Amino acid sequence: MATVLLIGGTGLLGGAIAEELAQRGHAVRALVRSGRHAAKLSALGASLEAGDLRDARAVKRALRDAPVVITTAQGDPLKPKSPLREIDGAATQRLIDMARAAGVPRFVFVSALRADVGAAFVPQLAYKFAAEQVLQASGIPYTIVRPSSFQETFDDGFAPFKRFIETAGIGMTMGSGRGAHSFVAVRDVARTVALSLEHSEALNQIVPVGGPEDLNYRQAYTRIAAITGRRVTIVPAPRFGLKLGGLLAKPVLPELGGFFSFFAFFDRFGYTCVTPDWLVDALGERRSFDDAVRAFYGVGANSSV
């Protein structure tokens, strides 16, 4: 099996992809910019290549012997030194150019659902869509994976929603919270990425992936309340408040306002998808939203799922 160069392996999805690839017997080389979480990758048998995606020399080193490339890397609107503009934008596009020059046999790009429609409304989706187009024009055999929102949004970690529930009994919606999402388990997205290397249906395709059920934030909180037995009062953060917050934060966090535009986009267009039949069959059982909640809150028999 070909060696896989994984970029983003220290992140939530990248870590799950590394596990999935290791289980399937792939040799993994991970480009990591710090030791944070890299120990997990080493424990899985991955070899580590120190470097930043923005450093062309490091990328060239990592691309030696033209491995299959998978990238989940993204910037962080809360970290001005790691802007979306550079990571999701210029650096990802240069990675694709360098992969083409190196003769990479397959490139899997983790984009985001509705990157095409959302490009006009949400800066991060515009970067994703631009990178998709560069990849499609590159001639590299590709798969573009477009996940819906992760179920892990409701776990501890990158979003504060679980903390609001636990500390104040508040289910915060950003905007109306009426747009439906096909909330999907990170592990199911990781399996999708690995499966895309094995299934010809994924070759040169855009592959949307969602969970088995569509729910909006209000419905999600109602489920969380029912499963955990907690009282959850739904509190919508008004869109103008998000806009104002983004404007006030601009001098320190210039990308935050643009990131908030995600929520207006969700309200307006929803974030649901139809997962292709071949992938539904290949994935088998996808984790349900209810099982995800049980796992996040340690409730019931399936809490370790």
Cβ atoms of 155 and 224 closer than 8 Å: no
94 binds ligand NAP (CB under 6 A): no
Closest approach of Cβ 202 to ligand NAP, in Å?
Answer: 17
One character per residue 211-250, x = contact with ligand NAP (rule: CB under 6 A): ----------------------------------------
Q: Which of 28, 74, 126, 264 binds ligand NAP (CB under 6 A)?
A: 74
93 binds ligand NAP (CB under 6 A): no
Closest approach of Cβ 54 to ligand NAP, in Å?
Answer: 5
Of the pair 158, 203, the CB lying nearest ligand NAP is at 158
Closest approach of Cβ 272 to ligand NAP, in Å?
Answer: 13
Q: Which of 11, 67, 83, 270 binds ligand NAP (CB under 6 A)?
A: 11
33 binds ligand NAP (CB under 6 A): yes
> Total number of residues binding ligand NAP (CB under 6 A)?
28
210 binds ligand NAP (CB under 6 A): no
Instruction: List residues near ligand NAP by CB under 6 A.
Output: 7-14, 31, 33-34, 36-37, 52-54, 72-75, 82, 87, 110, 112, 147, 149-150, 153
